[in-house]
Structure 1
Amino acid sequence: MAPSALLATWLLSGIALGACATALARTYALRRRLLDLPGERRSHRAATPRGGGISIVLVLLVALACLAAAHPTAALTCLLAGAGLLLVAGIGWVDDHRPLPAWPRLAVHGVAAVLLALAVWRQGGAPADLALAFLAAVVLVNVWNFMDGIDGIAAGQALVVVLAWALLAGQGPVLWAGLALAAGLLGFLPFNVPRARIFLGDVGSGAIGYALAALLAFGTVGRPPELRVLWVFPLLPFLLDASLTLLTRMVAGEAWWRPHVQHAYQAWARALGSHLPVTLSYGAAAAVAAAVMFVVRSGSSALIMSTCLTFLLAGGLAWKRLRGLHAGNTTDSLTDGKR
């Protein structure tokens, strides 16, 4: 089979599997009454099932099994990464059924991050690569959990990021794993936008964050620091909103680990009275950052770092302005209604 036909088959199979699994997850959630109900800690207006992100986990696990079968020497690496994914998704699935305290979830995320670091070590990663894998796993799992609060934003943002990385990688396992994640997201998104019929749940948001961390870690093994920074470009809209909001809450002495609605995207959605424009705008911002990533990738380290700094400054100003919208309305919960 020609490479292009094989890629198309890989992608379409993943989309079909993801869509079927999401439909089944919705049926299961309705039967088990796994519903996010409207209320002061919600930003949706109708009872909506959660846990649809289990479909993305399934697509990723099937993809890892296929990659392990095609490359036996990488089977242990796939096993370690898959085990970490299962831990993150598993604790999220439990949390979707029966809410858990934050610290047990963080402990499981830490173990999963260690497994990802071990997987990178198996591929010849240096200490800096292992540190990046661990940090990326802990950070992105929680960032995608934090930022999953309106219809389509977490899955849509991840789709932009992973497609950009797949194109940047060009070939190899990162391309195939990236397309598998993209396929799972494309299978799920029709159920989540323009109006959600099911939410990702913690099982989905955590799994997406972990998968992105794995792609980032493996895609940058052995790369110089400036090229690692380059890979971060498409992540900046989510990273800025999550980190600046968290920092502000910590400085103010607030219980930063508790649910809140102080993120810029939440304030903007309340001001507009609609989720879709905000979701599309965040996706467009990630796409612009990805386009710039390709423009400057052959440039000097000074150009890459200065471009990143420009994005950070512009993003910080945008965050401050958006976060001021409806600042007095803090009743909706970020983490209680997974899109």
Structure 2
Amino acid sequence: MLLWLLLHFLIAAAGTLLARRYALQRDLLDHPGERRSHQVATPRGGGIAIVVAMLVAIVALALRDPSQRWLLGGFGVGFVLVAAVGMVDDHRPLPASLRLAVHALAGMVLAISVQMAAGNSWLSAMAFLSVIVLTNIWNFMDGINGLATSQALLLALALAWLLGGSWALLAGALAASCTGFLPFNFPRARIFLGDGGSGGIGYCLAGLGTIAALTEGAAALWLLLPLSAFMVDAGLTLLKRVVQRERWWEAHTRHAYQAWARVVGHTRVTLAYASWTATTVAVMIVLRSTPVVLALALCVVTYLAASVVWWRLERMESHIKTTGDK
């Protein structure tokens, strides 16, 4: 296990260095602007290193474990689709409708693989919806230094603990890959994930979460706890933009984490979100063997609490500006 983790850590770290050099040579830079949360031009596309590391893991595990080969194959095909359309978008912006169509296709591939493996239509539907939701949430929430990668790292660790066999190794590979990339993105960002990296991470979490539901049944509901920070911030911000008839699919800086970062800085916000998620992971580990109804009750309480925090953070910046003007 240690050698496995070290391998994927090194692939991600070395790949990020190469990706940064490539991005600088090709002028693949995110420039500051009203729809950005950073102040200096920064290379993008570093998530390709995580993508490569995960592809190595998928192929290695498919060769090692024939019993999971078809499911890992479907997982891998969907992963490539999401990562590829994101990397193309990193080089040349694509229409949001095209990216969403590719995400839907990736979700269908995973759903068909799950249906073939489990014969469970509800689980297949969950696979499809999870890919659409988490792929885009990780893209939406990749806006400040270290946030998307640190959250993925914590969730991957939770999944590695929950799963077994080849899938635990795959979750461990994701955690190690995120660890290899993170020093280049936090606390100071020398390169960003890009759409290929953030989308690929979101897809992996969706796929691994589906496998957790396949193997663990209702106990997989506990995974909703560590997802709460991103689900609430992304979901409520998206709902607000839709209600206000904004072009919700375009880049923006309206998330609660972005408003908070403008007040206290990227590092504090990323660490605060990590503390929230680490706490929910610990709760999940301690209470996993308790009745599932407790998981549902805790999820309701946690999401309500997160919604209150979102509401307060979302108004923090405007309150400070109003007070300053007075």
> What interval of TM-score do these two structures reach, taking the shorter chain for normalisation?
over 0.9
Change (3 A) 1:18 1:222: closer
Q: 2:175 aligns with which of 169, 172, 182?
A: 182
1:117 Cα offset (Å): 0.9
Q: 1:321 aligns with which of 303, 306, 312?
A: 312
Q: SS at 1:234's partner residue?
A: coil
Aligned sequence identity (%): 49
Whether the 8 Å contact between 1:262 and 1:327 is mirrored in structure 2 is no
Whether the 8 Å contact between 2:36 and 2:253 is mirrored in structure 1 is no
In the other structure, the counterpart of 1:164 is 158
- 1:237-285 CA distances to partner (integer Å, 9 max, x unpaired)? 000100011111112222222222111100100111x101100110111
Q: 2:44 aligns with which of 32, 36, 50?
A: 50
- 2:163 is the alignment partner of 1:206: no
Distance (whole Å) between structure 2 residues aligned to residue 75 and residue 174 of structure 1:
11
Distance (whole Å) between structure 1 residues aligned to residue 34 and residue 291 of structure 2:
50
Q: SS at 1:195's partner residue?
A: coil
Change (3 A) 1:223 1:242: same
- 2:92 is the alignment partner of 1:101: no
In the other structure, the counterpart of 2:64 is 70
Higher relative contact order (CA 8 A, sep 6+): 1
Superposition map of 1:1-339 within 5 A: 7-169=1-163, 171-221=164-214, 223-225=216-218, 227-272=219-264, 274-327=265-318
Distance (whole Å) between structure 2 residues aligned to residue 12 and residue 201 of structure 1:
24
Distance (whole Å) between structure 2 residues aligned to residue 34 and residue 253 of structure 1:
31
1:303 Cα offset (Å): 1.5
Q: SS at 1:111's partner residue?
A: helix
CA RMSD in angstroms comes to 1.4
1:77 Cα offset (Å): 1.9
Change (3 A) 1:298 1:110: same
Of 243-252 and 86-95, more deviation after overlay is shown by 243-252
Q: What TM-score comes out, normalization by structure 1 length?
A: 0.91
**One-letter amino acid of the counterpart of residue 324, structure 1:** R
Whether the 8 Å contact between 2:36 and 2:252 is mirrored in structure 1 is no
**One-letter amino acid of the counterpart of residue 156, structure 2:** V
**One-letter amino acid of the counterpart of residue 300, structure 1:** P
Whether the 8 Å contact between 1:125 and 1:222 is mirrored in structure 2 is no
In structure 1, runs of 5+ residues without a counterpart are: 1-6, 330-339
Of 229-238 and 203-212, more deviation after overlay is shown by 229-238
**One-letter amino acid of the counterpart of residue 218, structure 1:** I
Distance (whole Å) between structure 2 residues aligned to residue 8 and residue 223 of structure 1:
25
**One-letter amino acid of the counterpart of residue 54, structure 1:** I
Aligned residue pairs total 320
Distance (whole Å) between structure 1 residues aligned to residue 150 and residue 131 of structure 2:
19
1:232 Cα offset (Å): 1.6
Whether the 8 Å contact between 1:129 and 1:222 is mirrored in structure 2 is no
**One-letter amino acid of the counterpart of residue 182, structure 2:** L
1:228 Cα offset (Å): 3.1
Q: What TM-score comes out, normalization by structure 2 length?
A: 0.95
Which one has the bigger helix percentage?
2
In structure 2, runs of 5+ residues without a counterpart are: 321-326
**One-letter amino acid of the counterpart of residue 21, structure 1:** G
Whether the 8 Å contact between 1:125 and 1:221 is mirrored in structure 2 is no
In the other structure, the counterpart of 2:323 is none
Distance (whole Å) between structure 1 residues aligned to residue 132 and residue 307 of structure 2:
23
1:298 Cα offset (Å): 1.6
4+ long deviations beyond 3 Å: 222-225
- 1:110-153 CA distances to partner (integer Å, 9 max, x unpaired)? 00001111222232241111011111100000000000000000
Distance (whole Å) between structure 2 residues aligned to residue 315 and residue 118 of structure 1:
34
Q: SS at 1:256's partner residue?
A: coil
Distance (whole Å) between structure 2 residues aligned to residue 134 and residue 328 of structure 1:
40
